[in-house]
Amino acid sequence: MRPTSAPYKKGMYAVLFDIDGTLIQTGGAGQLGFARAFADQFGVAKLSGEVSFAGRSDRAIALDLMRAHDVPQTDENWQRFQEAYLGNLPAALAELPGTVLPGIPAFIAALQQRSDVAIGLLTGNLRRGAEAKLTHYELWDHFPFGGFGDLATDRNEIAATALAAANDHAAACNGRSGPLREAMVIGDTVHDVRCGKSIGAYTVAVPTGQTSAETLSAEAPDVLLDDLSDCTPLLERIGAVLGTAR
Ligand SMILES: [Mg+2]
**Which residues fall within 8 angstroms of residue 172, CB to CB, at 6 or more apart?**
none
| Ligand 1 center–CA 155 separation, angstroms | 11
Helix axes 58-68, 75-95, angle to 10 degrees: 110
pLDDT per residue as tens digits for the range 79-89 = 999 999 999 99
| Ligand 1 center–CA 226 separation, angstroms | 15
| Ligand 1 center–CA 58 separation, angstroms | 12
Residue 97 burial class via C-beta count within 10 angstroms: exposed 0-12, middle 13-18, buried 19 and up:
exposed
| Ligand 1 center–CA 21 separation, angstroms | 5
Q: Give me the amino acid identity at 159.
A: A
Integer Cα distance of 86 and 133 in angstroms: 10
| Ligand 1 center–CA 169 separation, angstroms | 23
User: 11 pLDDT band (50/70/90 cuts)?
Assistant: confident
| Ligand 1 center–CA 44 separation, angstroms | 25
12-26, 47-61, 185-199: range with lowest mean pLDDT: 47-61
| Ligand 1 center–CA 53 separation, angstroms | 9
Integer Cα distance of 241 and 62 in angstroms: 39
| Ligand 1 center–CA 24 separation, angstroms | 9
Q: Give residue 7's pLDDT.
A: 60
pLDDT per residue as tens digits for the range 82-122 = 999 999 999 999 999 999 999 999 999 999 998 889 999 99
Helices (H), the chain: 29-42, 58-68, 75-95, 104-112, 127-136, 155-172, 190-198, 213-217, 232-242
| Ligand 1 center–CA 98 separation, angstroms | 14
Residue 179 burial class via C-beta count within 10 angstroms: exposed 0-12, middle 13-18, buried 19 and up:
exposed
| Ligand 1 center–CA 243 separation, angstroms | 30
Q: Give residue 115's pLDDT.
A: 87
The DSSP secondary-structure symbol of 226 reads: S
- Residues near ion ligand 1 (Cβ under 5 Å): 18, 20-21, 188
CA nearest neighbour of 184 among 125, 114, 129: 114
| Ligand 1 center–CA 215 separation, angstroms | 14
Q: Give residue 1's pLDDT.
A: 45
Q: Give residue 246's pLDDT.
A: 56
| Ligand 1 center–CA 188 separation, angstroms | 5
pLDDT per residue as tens digits for the range 228-245 = 999 999 999 999 998 876
CA nearest neighbour of 62 among 54, 49, 73: 73
Query: What is the DSSP annotation of 171-194?
Result: HHTTTTS-SEEEEEEEESSHHHHH
